[in-house]
A and B are shown apart, each in its own frame.
Chain A
């Protein structure tokens, strides 16, 4: 069973993502801020992370993504950035941080599942 880590500070959106993923066979883990998300990524080594960009605290999604992708132990983890910011420049910054995909909130749950499937098949 593939392991997915959701890192999202908004509890309501985290729950909606979990409910979407529960239609599939995933082992789901959750974190509510960047620092604990990064700790869990290093510990759990999930196959994929759904990572909110704008989170309160010391690490935002872009920094977490950068850390994950620049560490040999975690760089295999597929990262999907989730954000309300959909400008071309935002996408470019996401790519620079090493993200594999970029979904703009509010996103279609079907699109989310298809994106995850595609990324996990490739990996």
Chain B
């Protein structure tokens, strides 16, 4: 299996088994192995799961089931069995029912693997067949150029899918970097500028206030940067040669908007790498309390990246308050003694 795919599947929180119609496990990620005791090369012993795999592989029918646990005291494991990639295989997602977003994530992943990786791969294979049949003196170069383009496209999709899978892991977004959006935009522009120069596309950045006065945001600098890169690169690639893109940074109370004017990027949901990039951007922004949206202004279509500024609410905030209270309780006796020494009474609610 390609290393990108292995990384992608290992990063998924729910367990995953890739099983052939013969019941032999072709691949199991860590979580899948742990929850079912099955690994690559082993045969599925549970008759109901084996039947579900055959039904999914041969009949292309999805099935939800509960896998009986080893011990009577343990509850069964929820499984979802869906058709695989080749018609003689199935994917078993193990125990994703307890993670509300995971099921949705799986569907997105499978859709992306089928539509954005498998189908183009088949097209590439067909092109290769054609290349074999073509007279070596005629048109080989063109066919191989086309093949290289396709392979590059697939690699881009695979890279973005790996990132998307990393996001589902959730932990990577717990960062609370202080992100100055205006400054980050300029950094990203340095990265995208060569592409824009190559395509003779100009990009104009505007803001209605001094960039240093714009609100900062606390979150993952790495992932927000990634959103900016995807949007700016996509906008530049999509813009007509010689045109200009206007990127406006607006501050509206506790929300910041980055508006890419006259940018139809992601307008139809996109295909291939664009579709995965759109999902990636939407996911990163949603996890920061923001969103990616389109704005129609007459015949113009703008892409808007919206983000709340300042610190997000975090579930660990109460932990911090508890830790602070513990420090207060620890110092309380000394605070009271100190107050006595200086002749002051301790506050009424201090004890």
Contact = CB atoms under 8 A, between A and B. Distances in A.
A106 B324 contact: yes
A106 B309 contact: no
A108 B327 contact: yes
B350 A16 contact: no
B251 A93 contact: no
Most chain A CB neighbours (cut-off 10 Å) among B215, B251, B324, B350: B324
B326 interface: yes
Contact of A59 (B215, B320, B326): B215
B215 A105 contact: no
B253 A58 contact: yes
A23 B331 CA distance: 12
B178 A60 contact: yes
A33 B211 CA distance: 21
Nearest to A85: B176
A109 interface: yes
Given A54-B311, A62-B216, A16 B335 contact: no
A106 to B, nearest CB: 4
Interface stretch (B91-99, B106-114, B279-287, B338-346): B338-346
A59 B346 CA distance: 35
A22 B339 CA distance: 10
A98 B320 CA distance: 25
Given A19-B347, A19-B349, A62-B216, A106 B320 contact: yes
Contacts of A12: 318, 321, 324-325
Contact of B324 (A13, A57, A58): A13
Interface in B302-351: 308-313, 317-318, 320-321, 323-328, 330-331, 334-336, 338-339, 344, 346-347, 349-350
B321 A54 contact: no
Contacts of A62: 178, 216
B312 A20 contact: no
A73 to B, nearest CB: 18
A41 B320 CA distance: 26
A33 B215 CA distance: 13
A71 interface: no
Nearest to A33: B310
Nearest to A24: B344
Interface string A65-103: 000000000000000000011000000010000000000
A12 B81 CA distance: 47
Interface in A3-50: 9-10, 12-13, 16, 19-20, 22-25, 33-34
Contact of B347 (A23, A93, A107, A113): A23
Contacts of A57: 215, 253-254, 309-310
A110 interface: yes
B335 A20 contact: yes
B218 interface: yes
A44 to B, nearest CB: 21
Nearest to A84: B320
A103 to B, nearest CB: 11
A33 B253 CA distance: 13
Contacts of A110: 331, 334-335, 338
A55 B310 contact: yes
Nearest to A12: B321
A56 B310 contact: yes
A17 to B, nearest CB: 9
A16 B254 contact: no
B215 A60 contact: yes
A115 interface: no
Nearest to A109: B331
9 closest A-B pairs (Cβ-Cβ)?
A54-B311, A22-B347, A12-B321, A56-B310, A106-B323, A106-B324, A57-B254, A57-B310, A109-B331
Given A107-B324, A108-B330, 6 more contacts: A12-B318, A20-B335, A58-B251, A85-B176, A106-B323, A106-B324
6 contacts: A23-B338, A54-B311, A57-B309, A58-B309, A59-B215, A63-B216
